[in-house]
Structure 1
Amino acid sequence: MRPPSRSLVLAALALLLLAALGGWLSQRQEAPSVRAQNAIPVRVVSVARQDVPRYTSAIGSVLSLHSVEVRPQVEGVLTRVLVKEGQWVKQGDLLATLDDRAIRASLDQARAQLGQSQAQLQVAGVDLKRYRLLSSDDGVSKQTLDQQQALVNQLQATVKGNQAAIANAEVQLSYTQVRSPVTGRVGIRNVDPGNLVRTSDTRSLFSVTQIDPIAVEFALPQQMLPTLQSLLNAPTPALVQAYLDADGESRLLGEGHLALIDNQVSANTGTVRVKAEFDNKDGHLWPGQLVTVKLRTAVEQSALVVPPPVVQRGIDGHFVYRLDGDKVTSVPVKVLYQDSTLNIVAGVEPGDRLVLDGQSRLKPGAQVEVTPEAPAPAEMADRRSQP
């Protein structure tokens, strides 16, 4: 048998070298793809530095600063009602009138009696002057002079009594014109014109309630009393916001300021009542309405903020995953303040890229692949405020 030629042996060796080289290259190309498949996709957000207001929340009740039940102050027939239900009125506006004929007659009678008493006083005064002249020459007795002086004094008192009767009748007459004691909104009418009304009636004619400005009353824990006192004594009134919670969303009804802290703490609940005042020109706040109140207690200057999903809770406390290159590191943090939109944290630096989504698959040192970066907390707040 003829041995293989040298050229065939060399060709076989070349083929073996080419096959080995191809296998080595294919392994190098597959390695990155395998590593890429092992990377965990995450979203990250950068730590931002901004001023953050701190709030405390409570459930409050809207109250009118002035609400008056309009009742008759004299007895009489209700002749006219000059306002409609739900009408806005100003202080001093005429609301209704009562039959005033009997009171006018009493007023005329009191004026007539005053005229009579004044005429009698004038005659008695002239006689008193005459008696004084005669008494100097013993033309009249001292007893007669004293009696005339007493008569003048009696008539003077009668005149004052008549004047008081006139003033009383005028006051009674003014009560027949029912005027608004405050600026506000007329409620539902309880009595129609033509009915006899008395001061002892249990039902009022209607109510007038002040709507602008208006108040909101709420309760806070007694531990906040020092904070409330400092806010009340501050040169700038503390901001208070009122929200209406409906369909899972909160709608801002108005912004006001802290106005009053009650003079005692409730022993049963351990809370103190607080009142805030609001401008209510648009009438978004209504007496008796339940609202969510947010009181701004402080403003954190240059705070480090992150979205709430960034902060995780572990056995040893709170921590975050920080992106270092293409791997993550577990960093312990302290949560200084939190609400529904952001957390104030300590333990990281501004600009650090933290994992926002995908933490459940992570562990320290894990390799990650970053998907499009989430907006910063301030940007998210701006987007929520846009329609």
Structure 2
Amino acid sequence: MGAHSVRQLAIFLLSVAVLFGAYVMTFGMPAQVSQLVGGAPEAGGNAGANQAQAGRGPGGRGGRGGNRATSVVVETLEETSYALVLRTVGTASSARKSSVTMSETGEVVEVALEANALVESGDVLLRLDARTQRLSLDVAQAELDQARDTLARYKTLQSSGNLTVTNVNLSEAEVAVRLAEANVGMAELALEERTIVAPISGRLGLSDVHVGDLLSSGDVVVTIDDSSKLYAEFEVPERSIGLLEVGKKVSVGTPTYAGRIFEGQIVAFDSRLDGVTRSVTVKAEIDNSEGLLWSGMTFLVRMLEETDPLPSVPSTAITWDRSGAGFWVVTDGKATRRPVTIRYREGDRVWLDTDVEPGAQIVTEGASKLREGAAVSDLSAEQRANS
């Protein structure tokens, strides 16, 4: 036999020895091998003792044919609440904001647009050249005065018995007065629109409008932000939409004020999920009466909700087979596998849906060694008894 063949034989024998050693460590020494090694069993009680010894494996576990209980760690099934925490990023925007836009065309003759200045609703922001509009108002007013004088004269003549003024003449004079009044109203409105006022109270943004500029209809003059309240707009993923409720509290932070938390509440959320991101847009209102927060800031949003108490076990208690997840329940020293649905997982603990009642004894360590109906012994209980 060549050196190569001897090496192959040695490797084969070593592999067999390793596999046999692993089998013995896991399932114990087979009874037949034990009898060959230890000799024929003695009669009477010694034979039974030898059989028990042969069926005993490492760690006090029985082999496939042994009757000894499998040592496991058992824990009482308890119910605890799970804290659902959602963390996301949002953007701040003013609760009330306005872009002041021109509705008329004209030359700027007066400006009050200092950046970051606080203004009240109705404050004058700028004025346009209004000479034409004032002249139009004067013409309209003069026509109204003339129409009223004519109507008054007709009424006087008719009341004195003058037959030259008919009811038709009087009616036409009354219509002329109403038309003249409407013309005056339109002229006043045209003159009023030459003055641009703040539509809301708030803080002015930057503006590049100056005296002498010619503005056209549709030009944006300035923005105004009322930041006494801000909206934090953020996205919530589909898996967390159960947290959404109008009035629900949220906590927000910003890198500008690291470590400080601002409180708010949800005021609105979209009615459908985004088809691409599979998320829903949420808007929360944040009190900013101190004026610390600015529109456009990045917010770190946190939402928290505790569930109703749910059965909770260490993740080591969960085993898997073709039917799905499950754990082992110990009743009268016997193990029975029961199916479960994992609701939440955090660290080394899971929260479950199961029909097993709280207080049941659950195998938390050693579950992978069990078979249906296997006898078990609680290792932790034995250790407590020996201590």
2:226 is the alignment partner of 1:210 = yes
Change (3 A) 1:52 1:181: farther
Task: Tell me the CA shift for residue 304 of structure 1.
Answer: 12
Change (3 A) 1:300 1:58: same
Q: Deviations over 1:184-207 (max 9, x none)?
A: 211111211121222144xx2211
* SS class of match (1:118): helix
Change (3 A) 1:161 1:253: farther
Aligned counterpart, 1:369: none
- Within a 5 Å distance, the mapping from 1:69-88 to structure 2 comes to 69-88=99-118
Q: Which amino acid aligns with 1:282?
A: E
Change (3 A) 1:343 1:81: farther
The ranges of structure 1 where at least 4 consecutive aligned residues each deviate by more than 6 angstroms after the TM superposition are: 49-52, 301-305, 311-315, 334-340, 342-346
User: Matched residues in 2 for 1:186 and 1:106: separation?
Assistant: 33
Aligned counterpart, 1:291: 299
Change (3 A) 1:193 1:105: same
Among the aligned pairs, what percent are the same residue? 23
Out of 172, 195, 198, the residue aligned to residue 177 of structure 1 is: 195
Task: Tell me the CA shift for residue 243 of structure 1.
Answer: 2.0
Change (3 A) 1:200 1:335: closer
TM-score, length of structure 1 as denominator length: 0.56
* SS class of match (2:158): helix
User: Matched residues in 2 for 1:176 and 1:313: separation?
Assistant: 77
* SS class of match (1:205): strand
2:189 is the alignment partner of 1:197 = no
Q: Is the 8 A contact 2:204 2:222 kept in 1?
A: yes
User: Matched residues in 2 for 1:273 and 1:335: separation?
Assistant: 28
* Larger RCO (CA under 8 A, 6+ residues apart): 1
User: Matched residues in 1 for 2:135 and 2:83: separation?
Assistant: 68
Aligned counterpart, 1:61: 91
Q: What residue ranges of structure 2 are gaps of 5+ in the alignment? A: 1-78, 321-340, 353-357, 360-378, 381-387
* SS class of match (1:123): helix
User: Matched residues in 2 for 1:265 and 1:315: separation?
Assistant: 34
Aligned counterpart, 1:162: 180
* SS class of match (1:264): coil
Q: What residue ranges of structure 1 are gaps of 5+ in the alignment? A: 1-48, 135-139, 306-310, 318-333, 350-363, 366-387
TM-score, length of structure 2 as denominator length: 0.56
Task: Tell me the CA shift for residue 276 of structure 1.
Answer: 0.5
2:222 is the alignment partner of 1:221 = no
Aligned counterpart, 2:252: 242
User: Matched residues in 2 for 1:278 and 1:302: separation?
Assistant: 31
Q: Is the 8 A contact 1:303 1:344 kept in 2?
A: no
Change (3 A) 1:226 1:53: closer
Q: Is the 8 A contact 2:98 2:199 kept in 1?
A: yes
Q: Is the 8 A contact 1:258 1:277 kept in 2?
A: yes
Change (3 A) 1:223 1:300: closer
* SS class of match (1:157): helix
User: Matched residues in 2 for 1:76 and 1:339: separation?
Assistant: 66
Q: Which amino acid aligns with 1:159?
A: V
Aligned counterpart, 1:109: 139
User: Matched residues in 1 for 2:311 and 2:260: separation?
Assistant: 27
Question: Between Structure 1 and Structure 2, how many residues are aligned?
Answer: 261
Q: Is the 8 A contact 1:72 1:175 kept in 2?
A: no
Q: Which amino acid aligns with 1:181?
A: P
Q: Is the 8 A contact 1:256 1:276 kept in 2?
A: yes
Aligned counterpart, 2:156: 126
Q: Deviations over 1:263-303 (max 9, x none)?
A: 3332333322111011112334322333221123x246899
Q: Is the 8 A contact 2:202 2:224 kept in 1?
A: yes
Task: Tell me the CA shift for residue 108 of structure 1.
Answer: 1.9
User: Matched residues in 2 for 1:344 and 1:184: separation?
Assistant: 50
Q: Deviations over 1:93-152 (max 9, x none)?
A: 22222222322222222111110110011112233335xx57xxxxx5xxx66xx32222
Out of 149, 152, 155, the residue aligned to residue 170 of structure 2 is: 152
Q: Is the 8 A contact 1:335 1:343 kept in 2?
A: no
Q: Is the 8 A contact 2:82 2:351 kept in 1?
A: no
Q: Is the 8 A contact 2:113 2:207 kept in 1?
A: no
User: Matched residues in 2 for 1:177 and 1:159: separation?
Assistant: 28
User: Matched residues in 2 for 1:345 and 1:200: separation?
Assistant: 59
2:204 is the alignment partner of 1:186 = yes
Task: Tell me the CA shift for residue 344 of structure 1.
Answer: 8.8
* SS class of match (1:272): strand
User: Matched residues in 2 for 1:250 and 1:336: separation?
Assistant: 34
Task: Tell me the CA shift for residue 66 of structure 1.
Answer: 2.5
